Amino acid sequence: MASLARQSPLLRLSAARPLAIRPAGASQMVGFHASAKKQILPPLPQTMDGTVNDPAPIPEPHPSEGSYHWTFERLVALGLVPLCVAPFAAGSLNPVMDAVLCSGLILHSHIGFQASIIDYFPTRRVPKTHAACNWLLRAFTLGTAVGLYEFETNDVGLTEAIRRVWTA
């Protein structure tokens, strides 16, 4: 180390610098770790069906899963683009167009939140939480649908409200 310190000026500077004294209670920095690992909840128990040498089970294909589901999600999202632009571009505030737009928004939101529930609360790990979140999602979706229906029938409607906010 002494021979390297004589050769490199950077090593000489760092070796000549005194060590800083940390006050009591100061956090300690460790290479590649900025904070301590703190788990809020312990991990759930891990289970395995069968033996180690059994192949992973392949789920039965279902038409509402996989590529069909992905394609439907993308079609709903793509369909919202003209539905959002048409009332303002054409200048017509049609209640039927409002109803279709509200239905598309509700369906799009429901699918998006359902995907989040599926990702974060898988049935195989937390079946009761998964079921509770799905029922909560259904309740909120129904409440949103009833609220938008009331807004459409008893008030100005969604596109007129957006137009009024935009021009305010």
108 annotated as belonging to a binding site for a ligand: yes
CA trace torsion 127, 129, 133, 135 (10° rounding): 60
Could you give the C-alpha distances from 23 to 17, 143, 154, in angstroms and in order? 18, 55, 66
3-state DSSP call for residue 33?
A: strand
Which tokens is 41 given? 């909840």
68 is in an annotated binding site: no
Going by the annotation, the residues of the binding site for heme b are 108
Going by the annotation, the residues of the binding site for a ubiquinone are 120
Going by the annotation, the residues of the binding site are 108, 120
